[in-house]
Amino acid sequence: MPHHGRERRDSGEWTFEEARFDAADWAWEFLRRNANYAADWRRSVPRQLPCLTLTDGTRLLRLPRRFPHAEKWGLLAFADPALAARQEPVFWHACALRRVVRLRALPPHQSDREGVQALADFKVERHAVIGADGVPLVLMKGSGVHVAVELHDLSVLTRRFRPVFELERLSELAAQTELLKRLQRFMASGSSPSATASLGGDERLRQALLALDESLSGKTYRQIATTIFGAKMVADEWQGPSQFLKDRTRRLVAKGIELMNGGYRDLLG
């Protein structure tokens, strides 16, 4: 198993990086702890592909071919499991992300004064990958949320374009509208008010990740509970008649294992 770069923290203490995590970051944190994924990564050739930084700050990975063994895990290319989320871009497959904005980039007219855009207009982190099909997939990440955008007909990612958003079926309307609202907020400031609403879910994911790490290290349920909830709470409630703390710890361990063994895909939807 790779070293995960995790520091032991008291319950309720957040690191700066965790406070910025979006669903894709949490998904990677659980996947990279999977021993079978780590074994596939070690067997992969090459293990790492060069990632460039464009003049507008977009991180770009250009794939020379498909990588089916990485696609099995929901990735376009393998990422090093020793690297935590945000240390290096993780390039998820569009099929794993599921909710993707499809954008056709048309050349601007000379008369265009409004509606012409560039990737740099979105004031967030931008990770782009050009797959074997030649279609760029851009993951935009800001303030605890992300939006994946397929950019058709844009051969040079730094060029300006007229965006035409495509909808394949009416059943996508509600989900696509929410994604477009996120993109609009990314253009305004890079922030999203919806990020604060996910803090409760993020706390449960953080606890499940801690429980998973402690379980993989061979710790007992009581030791795991002490790491997550603190020694005082465990001393006060572990032997209590309700069994609440024991049950909660068992559920967190089970949830962490579930997310590591494939459940991380549900976080990407």
The residue behind tokens 């603190």 is: 230
Nearest to 34 by CA among 223, 209, 252: 209
Determine, yes or no, domain membership for 135.
no
d(CA 102, CA 87): 27
Residue 248 lies in a domain: yes
Tokens of 182: 């996120």
Q: Is residue 140 within 8 Å of 188, Cβ to Cβ?
A: no
Gap between the Cα atoms of 30 and 265, Å rounded: 10
Q: Which two tokens stand for residue 124?
A: 């967030």
Q: How far apart are CA 10 and CA 20, in angstroms?
A: 19
CB within 8 A of 72, min separation 6: which ones? 40
pLDDT digit string (tens) for 70-96?
999 999 999 999 999 989 899 999 999
In a domain, 253, yes or no: yes
Indicate the SS3 state at residue 251.
helix
Q: Per the domain annotation, does 221 fall within a domain?
A: yes
Torsion sign over Cα 11, 16, 17, 21: positive
Based on the structure, what is the number of domains in the chain? 1
In a domain, 238, yes or no: yes
* Residue span of the structural domain in which 245 resides: 198-267
Cβ burial, residue 116 (10 Å; 0-12/13-18/19+)? middle
Asked whether residue 234 is assigned to any structural domain, the reply reads yes
Asked if 127 and 141 count as a contact pair (C-beta separation under 8 A), the reply is yes
Q: Is 209 domain-assigned?
A: yes
Q: Which residues of 120-132 are buried (b: 16+ CB within 10 A; e: fewer)?
A: eebbbbbbbbbbe
Under-50 pLDDT residues of the chain = 1-14, 16, 192-197
Question: What is the reported pTM?
Answer: 0.87
**Distance (Å, rounded) from C-alpha 231 to C-alpha 221?**
13
Mind listing the pLDDT tens digit for each residue in 180-230? 999 999 998 655 444 444 556 789 999 999 999 999 999 999 999 999 999
Residue 243 covered by a domain:
yes
